[in-house]
Amino acid sequence: MFAPDNTPDVILQHELNHIRSRHTIDSLILEVMKIFCWFNPAVYLYAKAVKTLHEYMADARASATIEKEAYAKMLAYYVFRVPGIGFTDHFYNHSQLQKRIIMLQKQNSSRNAGWKYLLIAPLLAALTVISLSSFTLKNKVSGIIISLSPTAQQFNVKGVVTDQYGKPISKATIIVYGTQMGTLTNNNGHFSLKNVPNNGILVISMVGYTTISVNVNSEKALHLTLYSSPAHLSPVVVVGYSTGTLKPSSKASNGKPFVFVEQMASFPGGKEALLKFLHDNIRYPQEARKEFIQGTVIVGFTVDQDGSLSEIRTINDSLGGGLEQEAIRLIKAMPKWIPGIQNGEKEAVPYTLPIRFILQDGGSPQDVQ
């Protein structure tokens, strides 16, 4: 150890006490603990406390040869007069000065009292082990947690699909929107699906019937009703739900929209996206709820050459209760459609969309179909 010639003997005694007590070994052990338990704040607090304790011990032995008051004055003098450099860094630590002076005035604890402090060591060791185990376990099972967490919010769904007369519909298609999960109804109209996500959307469809969508948030058995497409609707409705199979013999010359085109106008994302838009945005009018008004609103509109919607109107008898206004509001809120194609050119196409409003369970609105 090297020290300047003008270093007081008491300071040398202080530093020699650190060496004789092997405080360096304690410091090295604490640094190793910081490497392996860097995430545990208790380790840093413990290291700070141990370093302070080292200073208390060195002060106690160094002050044994002189008056404690004189030693305290010397501490204050050198701490504020000399910058902490070299081997005396700990001696000149400003932040510990007040604590060290106060500690000089305290009486030494009895040997039995010292054993009380040893009780802290097992507690600190246990906290360190728990923190280290928790950190390791979190890293090991994080992938499992991610994969298992949705399981708690999945349902096994079953139910039956019938027509408006209560007759079971066989071979109806039930799919979970946005997934590859799906099934068909059996000869009795029954179906079952496993592990359906909470608030998943079931899309039920059958040729000749209006497609519906239903939210799933429990394992309650579902009774789903498909209504046959209205008989008075023009073939435009059928074409609107498909890619179109009928072609005109020539292009219309009167400037009116095409009724049949090679490629029918469609909602961006297809039929499932259209159903999701209807499901997410439609609101059952309060007046209709109060008066228990339900039924089908048939909305007609034209998909223009740029995909915008125009000539929006209802084409069936008014049901009242604000149902027609809600249906028109919904169509106006839609994004631009993909326009119809005829002879390689974009053409305006008329479109008819039936929207069925149904109330059940004493007036609570069922998902709009």
Q: Round to whole Å and give the CA distance between 352 and 241.
A: 10
Residue 109: per-residue pLDDT:
56
Residue 263: per-residue pLDDT:
77
Interval 82-109: pLDDT, tens? 444 444 445 555 556 666 766 666 655 5
The amino acid sitting at 34 is K
229's CB contacts (< 8 A; 6+ apart) are 208, 209, 210, 237, 238, 354
Residue 143: per-residue pLDDT:
40
Average pLDDT over residues 353-361: 75
Interval 133-172: pLDDT, tens? 544 444 443 443 333 334 447 888 999 999 888 899 988 8
User: H-helix or E-strand containing 249?
Assistant: none
% of the chain at pLDDT higher than 90? 11
Q: Round to whole Å and give the CA distance between 284 and 297.
A: 12
Looking at per-residue pLDDT, the higher value among 134 and 119 belongs to 119
Average pLDDT over residues 195-205: 84
Residue 111: per-residue pLDDT:
56
Q: Round to whole Å and give the CA distance between 218 and 200.
A: 10
Task: Region of 362 please: left (phi>0), alpha (psi -120 to 50) or beta.
Answer: left
Residue 309: per-residue pLDDT:
93
Q: Round to whole Å and give the CA distance between 201 and 214.
A: 6
Mean pLDDT score of the chain? 71
Average pLDDT over residues 33-44: 80
Residue 124: per-residue pLDDT:
64
Interval 209-244: pLDDT, tens? 778 888 888 778 899 998 875 433 332 222 222 233
Residue 103: per-residue pLDDT:
65
By DSSP bridging, strand 154-163 and strand 222-226 are parallel
Looking at per-residue pLDDT, the higher value among 8 and 353 belongs to 353
Average pLDDT over residues 320-344: 89
Interval 178-190: pLDDT, tens? 676 778 899 999 9
* Residue of 191, 182, 183, 196 whose CA lies nearest to 153: 196
Interval 260-292: pLDDT, tens? 456 778 899 988 888 888 888 888 888 888 888
Residue 34: per-residue pLDDT:
80
Looking at per-residue pLDDT, the higher value among 272 and 52 belongs to 272
By DSSP bridging, strand 345-347 and strand 173-176 are unpaired
